[in-house]
Structure 1
Amino acid sequence: MTVRPFAVDIPQPVLDDLRGRLARTRFLDDSPRRPASGMSAAYLRELVASWLTFDWRSREVWLNQHPQFLADVDGSTLHFAHRRSTTPDAPALLVMHGWPHTFALQLDFAELLPDLDVVVVSMPGFAFSPPLDEPPTEQRLAALMHTLMTDVLGYSGYLTYGEDFTANVSDLIASTHPEAVAGIVVTHAHFLSQAERESTSDPTERAFYDRMAAGWYHQAGYAHVQGTRPDTLAAGLNDSPAGLLAWITEKLVEWSDTPAGDPAGVERRISRERILTEATLYWATQTIASSFTTYFDGADAEISAVEVPAAVFVQRHEHDNPESVARRFYRDLRVFERLPEGGHFTVAEVPRAMAERVRRFALTLR
């Protein structure tokens, strides 16, 4: 299992082609009486104009200030940033992104933890990690991440954190490898299975799941398309940078902790520079298609209760997630807090607040 240094270096012809396509964008006006969403014609025009003049090379310099590597792990290749602390025997923290973000969106958070060894990984099929040859099941992803942290990087113990689909991966790592996981940090707390939701007699639990189910229909179109017609969608997004930008940014807007009805409000949490960095990485690596894989080829694992120390910080979109469920699933729950700020992309939206919380939790484990 070899590890080799990596630096981001997008070929200039790729950037020239991107700008040419952006300059030829055929914009549409908003449809009359269209359903509300996280994107509007006016905001997309703003973003495309900014992308046309975006100084990618300076952004590339910033990315490369974070030491990055490629590792061969169990027949696959993983890309990751690895910020080592100067503190002797510093705790190690594995940080995993979900969809539609990349490792880059979590680097600001990693920078704020100089007293921890922080590994920010690109999940298979995202950015510089090639897709897997086999289905990216939660079990397979958990095994890869654990092997990276232990056999490849040599940590005998580490903390784990995941967002979006990697929240389940993080739970699975902690559940499966309690001998190596010193603790788990959670902002997307464990959900009951459908059968458990239907059988619960707790009114608080039932109210939370009813609320989540009621709002899902109006947001689930993206998931249905990505899970049933992924290649058709990807053909358009891989050919149109404006389309790609709209598809990604809509979710950054809708899922972040920003006011509804104001797409540009996302920049209070995730700056335009960071949004365009995400879009450029997807475009240059042509990974929008492979980023869809977990929607149609992944499989959910049955996850046993987590016995290792846990800190649950409930993000705003799940503000009423019941503490009772967390206490049943995270058997050694040390912290349960409802965050005053921060949505789906929690460590990217409120990196300083989350870094302080993670640091406190890690210190208690030492």
Structure 2
Amino acid sequence: MTVRPFAIDVPQPVLDDLRDRLARTRFLDDSARRPASGMTSAYLRELVASWQTFDWRAREAWLNEHPQLLADVDGTTLHIAHQRSTTPGAPALLVMHGWPHTFALQLDLADLLPDFDVVVVSLPGFAFSPPLDEPITEQRLAELMHTLMTDVLGYSTYLSYGEDLTANVSDLVAATHPEAVVGLVVTHAHFLPQDERDATTDPTERAFYDRMAADWYQQAGYAHLQGTRPDTLAAGLNDSPAGLLAWLTEKLVEWSETPDGDPAAVEKRISRERILTEATLYWATQSIATSFGSYFDGGDAEIPPVEVPTAVFVQKHEHDNPESVARRFYRDLRVFERLPEGGHFAVGEVPDAMAQRVRTFARELGLVP
């Protein structure tokens, strides 16, 4: 298993073609009686105009300020940003993204933790990590992440954090490798399996799962398409940068903390520069199709209770996630806090607050002074 340095260098013809396509975008007006969503015609026009003049080379230079590697791990290759601390004996922190964001949205957190060795990984099929030639299951991802941290990068112990589709992966790594995971940081706390949700008689638990089920119906169209017609959807998104931008940004808007309902309010948490960085990475790597892999490979892993020290910071979109479930699942729960700010993309939306909490938790574990 080897690692080699990597730097991002998007070919100029790719950028020229992107700008040409953006200039020829055929916009539609909003539909009459359209359902509410995280995208409007007006906001998309703003974003497309900004993307046409976006200084990718400046952003690319910023990305490349973060040391990056391609690591050969158990038959595949993973792209990682690996920020090593100058502090001797600094603890290692594994940071994993979900969909639709990439590693880039989590680099601000890494920058705020110079007293940690931070490993921000691109999942298989995202950005510069090639897709797996097998199902991208939670079990497979968990083993890849653990092998990366221990056998490839040489850490005997590490902290773990995952968001969205890697929340379960992070839990699974901690549950199956307690000898290595010295602490677990959580913003997407464990959900009961469906049969236990149906059977619970606790009123707080019942109310939370009923609310999540009701809300999910209005938001689940993307997941159904990505899980049942991934290639058909990707054919359009891979060919139309405006379509790709709308598809990605809608979810950044809907899942971030944007309380006033204006799609552009997402930029209070995730700047336009960062939104366009995400879109450019997808476009330049043509990875939208492969990013859908976990949706059609499907199925949640059975995860045993986690025994390692855990800090749960409940993000705003799951503000009513019951503490009772967390205490049953995370058997050594050291912190349970409901975040006052920050939604689904917590470390991307409120990196300062999350960096402070990660450091405080690590200090309580004796990992940092």
TM range, smaller chain:
over 0.9
Match of 1:185 in 2: 185
Q: Where does residue 124 of structure 2 map in the other structure?
A: 124
Q: Between Structure 1 and Structure 2, how many residues are aligned?
A: 366
Q: Which residue is equivalent to 1:359?
A: 359
| Alignment partner, residue 67 of structure 1 | 67
In the other structure, the counterpart of 1:200 is 200
- CA positional deviation for 1:25: 0.3
User: How far off is 1:260 after superposition?
Assistant: 4.7
Match of residue 9 from structure 1? 9
Cα contact 1:10–1:284 (8 A) shared by 2? yes
Q: Deviations over 1:168-227 (max 9, x none)?
A: 000000000000000100000000011101111110000000000111111000001000
**Partner of 2:332: helix, strand, or coil?**
strand
Give yes or no for contact 1:136–1:299 (8 Å, CA) kept in 2: no
Tell me how far apart the structure 2 counterparts of residues 209 and 298 of structure 1 sit (CA, whole Å).
21
SS at match of 1:182: strand
| 2:331 is the alignment partner of 1:331 | yes
What pairs with 1:306-325 in structure 2 (closer than 5 Å)? 306-325=306-325
Match of 2:272 in 1: 272
Query: Is the deviation greater in 183-192 or in 292-301?
Result: 292-301
Give, in angstroms, the shift of residue 261 of structure 1.
Answer: 2.6
**Corresponding residue number in structure 2 for 1:114:** 114
Q: Which amino acid aligns with 1:314?
A: V
* Cα deviation, residue 345, structure 1: 0.3
- CA offsets, 1:21-64, max 9 Å, x none? 00000000000010000000000000000000000000000000
Pairing 1:272-291 to 2, within 5 Å after superposition: 272-291=272-291
Higher mean displacement: 39-48 or 260-269: 260-269
Contact 1:66 1:81 (8 Å CA) reproduced? yes
Post-superposition, which runs of at least 4 consecutive aligned residues in structure 1 deviate over 6 A?
A: none
* Structure 1 residue 259, shift from structure 2 partner: 2.0
Distance 1:277 1:267 in 2: 13
- Determine whether 1:245 maps to 2:207: no
Q: d(CA) in 2 for partners of 1:298 and 1:69?
A: 29
| Number of the residue aligned with 1:216 | 216
* Structure 1, unpaired ranges of 5+: none
Q: How far, CA to CA, are the matches of 1:253 and 1:159 in structure 2?
A: 29
Shift of 1:70: 0.1
Query: Counterpart of 2:90?
Result: 90
- Aligned 8 A contact 1:36 1:261 in 2: no
Mapping for residues 145-184 of structure 1, pairs under 5 Å: 145-184=145-184
For residues 200-258 of structure 1, give each alpha carbon's deviation from its aligned partner in whole angstroms, at most 9, with x where no partner exists.
Answer: 11100000000001111110000010000010000000000000000000000000011
Superposition RMSD in Å: 0.5
| Structure 2 residues not aligned, in runs of 5+ | none
Instruction: State the AA in 2 paired with 1:298.
Output: G
Q: TM-score, normalised by structure 1?
A: 0.99
Structure 1 distance, partners of 2:352, 2:100, is 22
What letter matches 2:80 in structure 1?
F
* One-letter amino acid of the structure 2 residue matched with residue 93 of structure 1: L
Q: Distance in 1 between matches of 2:90 and 2:199?
A: 44
